Amino acid sequence: MNEKPSVLLVITQDTKQDEARFVRQTLESAGVEVVHLDPSVRRSVGGAEISPEQVAEAAGHTIEAVRALGHEGKCQAVMIEGSIKAAHAWHAARPVSGVLAVGGSMGTALAGALMQSLPYGLPKLIISTMASGFTAPYVGVKDIAMLNAVTDIAGINSISREVFRNGALAVAGMAKGYDPARTADKPLVLMTTLGTTEQGTRRIRQALEADGAEVMVFHSSGAGGATLDSIAAERDVALVLDLSVTEIIDHLNHGLADGGPDRGKAGMARGVPTIWAPGNADFIIAGPIEAARAQFPDTRYHQHNPQLTAVRTRLPELQVLADHLSALVADARGPVEVFTPLHGFSSHDSPTGHIQDTSLPGPFAEYLKQMMPAHVPVTAVDAHFNDAAFADAIIAAARRMIAA
């Protein structure tokens, strides 16, 4: 029985045959098997374990029909769909221990989509001409590494040889150490926070860790919440503590950390027990101070740094937040509880902060109770978000929900 780990290699041979051959030889010399997925459109070279014909067929097309589309974007869409389906089918039957892709903008887009569909922990690396620029679309919220190709991927030269070799050896090494069977036996808790609520959430994290839970913390600054949702949709999660609503506030008010309309749904849709709290509901994240004043006139501002400004929310914005949260939890398939503080939502909204407004937490709590579905309890705590009393109320509920 062959005990060598295998690596999925994603590279087109119609334009990069020499590079594909070199990378394959390097991987094999490093002691791993290679499964070459070739999503070429222009021509089929042969030799790949998953051929262009098979990629197209996985998407419900023939390769001839794909070529006949005559539009690179439409061809790309079909080959992305086919690559994802073909890779998952292979991985289900003969699991791979790593994924390596080499490509320019088109190849990187395909590789990024494919890798984002694969589980956390599986080693993933893209050698790309796009790696020194805007990489967010290719990485998404997954654990994808990118290596700058430096030169164009057009033949083997003294620089690209070393880049390809280093990338291949890195993936081979990771594949040899990959252990998909290793899973934590601790209950997994996912939690959102920002620095402005870290005092309270740190107390919660430390208490649950002392109980034996594994707590993963995510900054709700635009990508953190999406990452939490992705893990909640994929892994066995005991509890979600969504304690920072920045990405929701910014979605509702066109702030910079917009998490989108479905932020927070993934775990609840699976029935994961969830606790919500309006941490950081006191501000919207905007750009530089002058831009913030132009976008959000006639309110209060705190210049966090030259690039970011905290814009004070008022009761109408908080009521819209309550409306959104009530709609969000209505279809939850598991238990949901909400806790809200009566003396401030973050360190900015405190006696030592810069945009405190003591008149808002109380009316918000009352409105939240009115709007929340009957099966979702709302607990107003006579404390600030960062006070021990508020954290302890959440800790008690979290322990109860994990135990149940």
Answer whether 10's CB lies under 8 Å from 37's CB.
yes
Of the CA atoms within 13 Å of residue 47, those in its CB half-sphere come to 13
Identify the sign of the CA torsion 220, 345, 318, 316.
Answer: negative
Closest CA to 156 of 146, 145, 144, 168: 168
pLDDT at residue 184, as a whole number: 64
Q: Point out which residues pair with 50 in neighbouring strands.
A: 37
DSSP state of 340: E
CA 26 from chain centre, in angstroms, equals 32
* All CATH 3.40.50.12020 domain ranges in the chain, comma separated: 6-177
Adjacency order of strands within the sheet including 283-286 = 283-286, 308-312, 301-305
CA 118 from chain centre, in angstroms, equals 13
User: For residue 307, with 0-12 CB atoms within 10 Å meaning exposed, 13-18 middle and 19 or more buried, which class applies?
Assistant: exposed
Q: CA-based angle 18:20:22, to the nearest 5?
A: 70
* All CATH 3.40.50.12030 domain ranges in the chain, comma separated: 188-403
DSSP state of 261: T
Low-confidence ranges of the chain (pLDDT < 70): 1-2, 182-184
Residue 253 neighbours by CB distance under 10 Å: 19
**Percentages helix, strand, coil for the chain, rounded to the nearest 5?**
45, 15, 40
Reported for 50-53, long-range contacts at CB under 8 A and 24+ positions apart, including other chains, are 50/86, 50/87, 50/90, 52/14, 52/79
CATH class of the structural domain 188-403: alpha beta
Q: Give the Cα separation of 163 and 150 in Å (integer).
A: 8
Q: Give the Cα separation of 56 and 63 in Å (integer).
A: 5
CATH tag, 6-177: 3.40.50.12020
pLDDT at residue 329, as a whole number: 97
Answer whether 24's CB lies under 8 Å from 48's CB.
no
Q: Give the Cα separation of 132 and 57 in Å (integer).
A: 34
Q: Name the token pair of 394.
A: 């959440």
pLDDT at residue 230, as a whole number: 94
CA 116 from chain centre, in angstroms, equals 9
Phi-psi region of 303 (alpha: psi -120 to 50; beta: other; left: phi over 0): beta
Question: Which residues, at least 6 apart from 12, have a Cβ–Cβ distance to it below 8 Å?
Answer: 20, 38, 39, 40, 41, 103, 107
Q: Give the Cα separation of 38 and 273 in Å (integer).
A: 42
Residue whose tokens read 């006639």: 298
Q: Name the token pair of 398.
A: 């979290």
DSSP state of 50: B
Of the CA atoms within 13 Å of residue 2, those in its CB half-sphere come to 10
Answer whether 396's CB lies under 8 Å from 239's CB.
no
Model confidence pTM above 0.85: no
Identify the sign of the CA torsion 116, 119, 125, 131.
Answer: positive
Residue whose tokens read 């290596």: 147
